[in-house]
Structure 1
Amino acid sequence: MSTQNATVLDSLTDFADQYGLAFVMVASYFGSGSVYIASQAGVMHGYTLLWAVVGAALLGFMAQDMSARLGIHGESLMVFVREKLGRPLAVTIALFLSIGCVAWTVGLVAAVGAGVSFLLGGAVAWQPIAVATTIAAIAVGLLAYDTVENIMIGMMLSLLVVYVIVALPSSPAAGELAMGFVPTMDSFGALAVAAGLLGTTALWPNFFLESILVGQKGWTERSDLPAARRDLSVAYAVGGITTVAILIASAALLRPMGYTSLETFLTPGRALVEVLGTWAMVLFVGGVIAAAFNSIVPIMWTPAYIIPQAAGVDVEKGDRLFSLVFAGLTGIGVLSPVVSAALDLTVVDMVILFPTYNGIFALPVAAVLLFWAVNDRETMGEHRNGRRLNLVNAALVVLAIVLAVLSVRDFVGLITGGGF
C-alpha cells in the first residue's frame, strides 16, 4: 500500500473513530420514511414545514445528547425503566415500543423492494425483493459493530451528496424559502405531516441505543462528553441538510408542476425527470433504496437490546439472545406484501404512515421515560439535567404529546381508509 493510500485510510479510520456512533443514529432515522415524508411535505405544503425539519433535527440532537449523558453517567434507558418500574411493566413497555420498530421494517423493506424493482425495469415485482431485502438486513445486522458503523458513515455521506445534487438546480424563491423556516398559521393545517417529520427525525429508538452504545465507543467518563457532542453535531447536520434538500426540491419542482400528493412510489423521480432529466430519477430512487436499507439495521437492534434488558438480561451485540431477537423480529419484514394487501396500502403509504405511527404512539412514551431518567437524582447524581436542558426536554415531551393528540384522528383515518 502506498504512503498516500495509507494516509487516506488512516484519516478515514480516525473519522470513524470520532464520529461513527451518531452516524448510526442518523442512519436509523434517515430512511425511506424521511425521504418521502420530506417529499410529501414539500409537495403538499411547499416550504411551510422547513421549520419543522430544523426543529426536529435540533430536538433529536438534544434528546441524543441526554441519552449519551445517561449512558455515560448512569445506565442505559431500558435498564433504568426496569429498575424503576419492575420487570413486568418494563417488558410491556419494551414490547409495545418494539411494535413500532417492526412496523418501520415492514415499510422499509417494501421501499427497497419497490426501488430495486423500478431500477430493474419491473422485471421483478417489489414483493419478492422485499423478502430478499429482509434476509439481507438480518445478515448485515449480525456483522461486527465496527463494520456496520463504517457502512452507515459511507451511506449517509453518499445520501447527502445525492440529494444536494438533486436540489441544487431547483432554484427556489429566496423569500418563500426563508419564510419556511418560521412557523406560521399555515403550519396548523399540516400537523399530521409535521408529526411524521418529528417521528422520523427525533427517533425514539435512538434514545435507547445511544445510552447503550456510548460504551461501544469507549465513552464512559465525563471527559468523553465533548467527543459525543461533536459526533452528534456532525451527523445531525448531515441528516438535517439532506432532509431540507429533499423538501426544497419537492416544493420548488414538483408543487409548481401541479403535484399535490405522492400518488405512487416513483412520483418524485418521474416528476424530476421532466425538469432535470433521467439522472435525477436514478439518483432519487437509488437514494431511497440506500436510505431505506440503512435504517433497518439500527432500528431493529433496538428491540434486540431492550426486550432482554427489560426482562433482566443484559445482552451485548453478538450474544445468542441478541441475535435471536434481532433475526426473529426483523424477519417479520417478509410479511410486508401481506400487510400492503390486507390494509390496501401502497408502498408510499407504508413508508410515510409507519414512521408517523411511531411519532404518534411511541415517541411520547420514550420522550417521557428519557425526561424522567435524566432528571433522576439517584441515577444521574450531579449530572442530571439543569434548567436549560429541562426546558428543551420538556419541549420535546410536550411537542410529541400535542402532535400525537392533534394528529391521531387523521392517522387512523389514513390507515383505515387505504392511505393517502
Structure 2
Amino acid sequence: MSLREATLVEDLTGHVQQYGLAFVMVASYFGSGSVFIASQAGVMHGYTLLWAVVGAALLGFMAQDMSARLGIHGDSLMVFVREKLGRPAATAIAIFLSVGCVAWTLGLVAAVGAGVSFLLGGTIPWQPIAVVTTFAAIAVGVLNYDAVENLMIAMMLSLMVVYVIVALPSGADPGGVAVGFVPTMDTFGALAMAAGLLGTTALWPNFFLESILVYQKGWTEKSDLSDARVDLTVGYAVGGVTTIAILIASAALLRPMGYTTLESFITPGEALVEVLGVWAMVLFVGGVIAAAFNSIIPIMWTPAYIVPQAAGYDVSKGDRLFNVIFASLTGIGVLSPAVSWWLELSVVDMVILFPMYNGIFALPVAAVLLFWAVNDRETMGEHRNSRRLNVANAALVFLAIVLAALSVQDFIELITGGGF
C-alpha cells in the first residue's frame, strides 16, 4: 500500500471513529415496518407524500438533537428520570418501555424469517429462520460497540444504494417527484399515512440511546455538539434518501400496475419481478431482511441500558449485566412463532402492530420525558431549550400524543381480533 493510500485509509478510519452514531440511530428506526409504510405511501398516494419523508427526517433529527444535548450538557435520559422520580418509579417506567422493545423484536425476527423464506421459495418456513435470527442478533449485539457501529454504517449505506438502484429504472415522472416535495391540497387526503411516516421515524428507544452513547463517541463538551449535529445530518440524510427511493419506486412501478394497497412488505418484491426482473425482487426483499435485522440490535440495547440505570446501577456496553439483560430479553424472540400462533397474527400483523404498540403507549411517555429533561434548569443549566426550540420540539410531543389518542381503539380491536 502506498503512502497516499495509507493516508486515505487512515483519514476514512478517523472519520468513521469520529462520527457514525447516527447510523446506529437510523438503523434502529429503519426496519421492515418503515419499508412497508414507505411502499404503501407510494402505492396509495403516488409522489404526494415525499414532503412528509423530508419532514420525518427533520423530526427524527430534532428528537436526536434534544437527546444529544441532554447527554452532553446533562446526563442520560433514564438517569434524569431516576433522579427526578426516584428508583421505584423509574424502574417501573423502564420495565414498561422494555416490554415494547421485546414486542418489537418478536415482529422483527418474524420479518427476517419471512423474507429469507420467500427468497428460498418457501422450502423452509419462517418460524425456524426466526429462531436462528434471534441467536444471530444476540451474537452481533454483544460485540464491542465500534464493531456494531461499523456494521450499521455499512448496512445503511448498502440499503441506500440497493433501493436507489431499484428506483432509478422505475421511469418516475421528474415533475411529479418535484411537486411531491411540496404539500398541496392532495395532502389532506393522505394525512393518516403522513402521520405514519412521521411516527415511524421518531423512534423512542433512540431518545435514550443517543443521550447514553454520546459518551461512547467522546462527546462531552459544548464544542462537541457540532460534531453530533454533523453526524445526525449525515445519518438522517441517508435514511431519508433510502425512504424516498422506496416511495418513488412504489409510486412509479406498483401504482400503474393497479396496486391500491399491499398485502405485505414482500408484495413490492413480487411485483417488481414483472417489471424489472428477478434481480429487483432479490434486492428489494434482501433490503427488507437487512433492515429488519439491523433494527433488532439497537432496539434491544435500550432495555440493557435503561433497566440498570433506573435501578441505580452504572452500566456500560459490554458489562456482564448489560450482556445478560440484552441476551435474555432478545432471546425472547425465539417465541415469535408461538406468539404468532397464540394471537392468530400473521407476520405482517406483527410487523405493523408491535411497532404500533410502541407508537401508542411508549412514544408519548418517552417524548414527554425527553421534553421535560431538556427544559429542566437544574439538569441543563444555560443549555436548556430556548423558546424557539420549544416551539419546534413541542411538535414531537404533540404528534406522539395525538397519534396515540387516535390509534388506541383500533389497536386494541386488531390485537384482540386476530390482526388485519
Matched, 1:58 2:61: no
Other-structure match for 1:72: 72
Matched, 1:142 2:145: no
Alignment partners' CA distance in 1, 2:43 and 2:418: 20
The percentage of counterpart residues that share the same residue type is: 82
Matched, 1:92 2:92: yes
CA 1:4–1:278: 2 relative to 1, 3 Å: farther
Letter in 1 for 2:342: A
Contact 1:26/1:239, CA 8 A, preserved across alignment: yes
Other-structure match for 1:17: 17
TM-score by length of 1: 0.95
Alignment partners' CA distance in 1, 2:417 and 2:261: 16
TM-score by length of 2: 0.95
**Which 10-residue stretch deviates more, 3-12 or 219-228?**
3-12
Contact 2:35/2:265, CA 8 A, preserved across alignment: no
Alignment partners' CA distance in 2, 1:349 and 1:413: 13
TM-aligned CA deviation for residue 46 of structure 1 = 2.7
Contact 1:196/1:352, CA 8 A, preserved across alignment: no
Matched, 1:292 2:292: yes
Other-structure match for 1:127: 127
Cα deviations across residues 31-62 of structure 1 (Å, max 9, x unaligned)?
Answer: 11111121122223333332332222111101
Contact 1:114/1:265, CA 8 A, preserved across alignment: no
Other-structure match for 2:388: 388
Contact 2:137/2:296, CA 8 A, preserved across alignment: yes
Other-structure match for 2:163: 163
**Which 10-residue stretch deviates more, 166-175 or 377-386?**
166-175
The correspondence of residues 88-237 of structure 1 with structure 2, limited to 5 A, is 88-183=88-183, 187=187, 190=190, 192-237=192-237
SS in 2 for 1:336: helix
Letter in 1 for 2:295: S
TM-aligned CA deviation for residue 4 of structure 1 = 5.5
TM-aligned CA deviation for residue 174 of structure 1 = 3.8
Other-structure match for 2:379: 379
Listed as ranges, the gaps of 5+ residues in structure 1 are none
Other-structure match for 2:408: 408
Contact 1:117/1:125, CA 8 A, preserved across alignment: yes
Other-structure match for 1:342: 342
Letter in 1 for 2:257: M
Contact 2:102/2:332, CA 8 A, preserved across alignment: yes
Cα deviations across residues 193-251 of structure 1 (Å, max 9, x unaligned)?
Answer: 44432332111101100000000101100011100100000000000110111111112
The correspondence of residues 261-300 of structure 1 with structure 2, limited to 5 A, is 261-300=261-300
SS in 1 for 2:255: helix
Cα deviations across residues 173-195 of structure 1 (Å, max 9, x unaligned)?
Answer: 34443443344565555555444
CA 1:51–1:419: 2 relative to 1, 3 Å: farther
Letter in 2 for 1:104: W
Alignment partners' CA distance in 1, 2:294 and 2:378: 37
Alignment partners' CA distance in 1, 2:196 and 2:184: 18
TM-aligned CA deviation for residue 275 of structure 1 = 1.0
Alignment partners' CA distance in 2, 1:179 and 1:346: 37
CA 1:343–1:175: 2 relative to 1, 3 Å: farther
SS in 2 for 1:208: helix
Contact 2:303/2:325, CA 8 A, preserved across alignment: yes
Letter in 2 for 1:91: T
Matched, 1:45 2:45: yes
CA 1:126–1:211: 2 relative to 1, 3 Å: same
Other-structure match for 2:358: 358
Contact 2:19/2:217, CA 8 A, preserved across alignment: no
Alignment partners' CA distance in 2, 1:353 and 1:126: 18
Letter in 1 for 2:124: V
Cα deviations across residues 389-413 of structure 1 (Å, max 9, x unaligned)?
Answer: 1111111111111122123333333
CA 1:127–1:231: 2 relative to 1, 3 Å: same
Contact 1:109/1:292, CA 8 A, preserved across alignment: yes
Contact 1:265/1:347, CA 8 A, preserved across alignment: no
RMSD: 1.8
Letter in 1 for 2:250: S
Cα deviations across residues 357-407 of structure 1 (Å, max 9, x unaligned)?
Answer: 222221111111010000000000000011111111111111111122123
Letter in 1 for 2:287: G
**Which 10-residue stretch deviates more, 347-356 or 128-137?**
347-356
Letter in 2 for 1:235: G
Matched, 1:238 2:238: yes
Alignment partners' CA distance in 1, 2:152 and 2:237: 15
Listed as ranges, the gaps of 5+ residues in structure 2 are none
SS in 1 for 2:329: helix
SS in 1 for 2:263: coil
